[in-house]
Amino acid sequence: MKTLAAELARRRAQHLYRERLVLDSPPGAEVRVGAEKLLSFCSNDYLGLANDPRVIAAMRVGAERYGVGAGASHLVSGHSRAHHALEEELADFVGAERALLFSTGYMANLGVVSALTGRHDVIFEDRLNHASLIDAARLTRAKVSRYPHADTNQLAKLLVLARKPGMITTDAVFSMDGDLAPLAELRALAAQHGTRLLADDAHGFGVLGKNGRGSFEHLHLPLTPPVILMATLGKALGVFGAFVAGEAALIETLIQRARTYIYTTALPPAVAVAARASLLIVRTEGWRRERLQTLVEKFRTGAQSLGFALTASTTPIQPLMLGESERALEISRRLRERGILIPAIRPPTVPEGSARLRITFSAAHEAAHVDRLLDALSTVRI
Ligand SMILES: *Cc1c(COP(=O)(O)O)cnc(C)c1O
């Protein structure tokens, strides 16, 4: 048996060792790590709401009204008026019949996939799906069929061959690449083969679409069966938690069968109160999305004129592909010396040989911050 220490040493030698930063400030354009002040381009707080005074005030009011913990699972006595109201508002916002809150997006994906598929089904997954979708399929013991990234022709062939297509699962916006899934084609294939499409819009919800309803609004697609939407409250909304939206019978089925919904303590109701305040801001402050888009365009123009090869992503996720982990780590380190925080993303989060800097933007950034980033990038010699 290999010792844990030997295994850890091997990871370090391969440049795959992971270490945590300890933040001494709230998330934001600038963060503090001990005595270091860093300009951050790595959070998912796309709209800059994680530290918004109105959302903080809502959380405080929620804690005073409901206490700090839910005290029980949703099905026992943990489902508060705050949770219920948030579910209704989320369903209304995305245009689905109903929505169901989960404690995290990871748990929501596990819950949906395991409630709706069994060992005789085939689950079709995009190769670049988020770890939570991959783990969800593993949990069901279903047969898993992975198709090349966004390749709907290949998926169509696999669907024809499958005896019992159970579900297609995909990131709607790919978390490490920022590109959109071909949702119209996926939706059509799912309908044609009598299977569900679970779309994980963790990175589109609040960010994409004229009203921030996400990837489906952006692509002018209805949120009706066979689509099941999952989105999180911890990214653009800046809070915590997740929800699944779809038709009423789907939501009732999840309440009966999703084990990651049933066997866990409900989110603190104060978190639901904060998420409601945040959702209201998403609905009313469209300028945040416009500003975000302006910053992304400014970055892309600047980076291209400096000669960097960007991907086709037009979302706030702008990866700079660097290849080997060692190189990504080195460039991340040099940027940090220049006051810029962008941790290197390495395997197994991304495929072998595709280590990268995953640069993300937020409405909390200003144009001058993007200039500082471009300036730093031009001096680290990528
Ligand atoms: C972050 C993320 C999740 C997990 O959501 P949490 O609420 O953080 O557990 C799921 N899917 C994707 C694509 C994500 O980026």
In the reported structure, the alpha carbon of residue 105 is separated from the centroid of ligand 1 by a whole-number distance in angstroms of 5
Residues 44-61: tens digit of each pLDDT: 999 999 999 999 999 999
Asked whether residue 381 carries a pLDDT value surpassing 90, the answer given is no
Q: Is 138 exposed, middle or buried (0-12, 13-18, 19+ CB in 10 A)?
A: middle
Q: Give strand pairing partners of 182.
A: none
- What CATH number does domain 16-45+286-380 carry, 3.40.50.300, 3.40.50.170, 3.90.1150.10, 3.40.50.1220? 3.90.1150.10
Asked whether residue 356 carries a pLDDT value surpassing 80, the answer given is yes
In the reported structure, the alpha carbon of residue 332 is separated from the centroid of ligand 1 by a whole-number distance in angstroms of 23
Query: How confident is the model at residue 328, as a pLDDT?
Result: 94
Percent of the chain exceeding pLDDT 90 equals 97
Q: CATH 3.90.1150.10 residue ranges in the chain?
A: 16-45+286-380
Q: CATH 3.40.640.10 residue ranges in the chain?
A: 53-284
Residues 168-215: tens digit of each pLDDT: 999 999 999 999 999 999 999 999 999 999 999 999 999 999 999 999
The active-site residue, picked from 203, 218, 365, 369, is 203
Asked whether residue 279 carries a pLDDT value surpassing 90, the answer given is yes
The active-site residue, picked from 74, 79, 218, 235, is 235
**Residue to mutate, 201, 232, 264, 267, ligand 1, most ligand atoms under 8 Å from C-beta:** 232
In the reported structure, the alpha carbon of residue 45 is separated from the centroid of ligand 1 by a whole-number distance in angstroms of 13
Provide the mean pLDDT of the chain: 96
In the reported structure, the alpha carbon of residue 17 is separated from the centroid of ligand 1 by a whole-number distance in angstroms of 22
Query: How confident is the model at residue 164, as a pLDDT?
Result: 87
Q: Is-catalytic flag, 218?
A: no
Which residues form ligand 1's pocket by a CB distance below 6 Å?
A: 104-106, 130, 132, 171, 175, 200, 202-203, 232, 234, 242
**Residue to mutate, 113, 129, 175, 261, ligand 1, most ligand atoms under 8 Å from C-beta:** 175
- Which two tokens mark 11? 């990871």
Please name the residue whose Cα sits nearest to atom 1 of ligand 1.
202
Q: Is-catalytic flag, 325?
A: no
Q: Select from 208, 130, 205, 178 the least CA-distant residue to 317.
A: 178
Q: Is-catalytic flag, 203?
A: yes
Could you give the CA distance from residue 202 to residue 293 in angstroms, rounded to a whole number? 18
Q: Select from 44, 121, 26, 8 the least CA-distant residue to 345.
A: 44
Could you give the CA distance from residue 238 to residue 342 in angstroms, rounded to a whole number? 19
What HEC string does 248-277 produce?
Answer: HHHHHHHHHHCHHHHCCECCCHHHHHHHHH
Could you give the CA distance from residue 243 to residue 142 in angstroms, rounded to a whole number? 24
- Which two tokens mark 62? 């929620």
Say which CATH architecture domain 53-284 belongs to.
Answer: 3-Layer(aba) Sandwich (3.40)
- H or E segment and range at residue 322: strand 317-323
Gyration radius from the chain CA atoms: 21
Length of the chain: 382
Query: How confident is the model at residue 319, as a pLDDT?
Result: 97
In the reported structure, the alpha carbon of residue 106 is separated from the centroid of ligand 1 by a whole-number distance in angstroms of 6
Please name the residue whose Cα sits nearest to atom 2 of ligand 1.
202
- Residue 235 alpha carbon, nearest atom of ligand 1: 1
The residue written with tokens 């031009």 in the block is 378
Could you give the CA distance from residue 55 to residue 275 in angstroms, rounded to a whole number? 7
Q: What is the DSSP letter of 71?
A: -
Asked whether residue 143 carries a pLDDT value surpassing 90, the answer given is yes
The active-site residue, picked from 175, 278, 354, 362, is 175
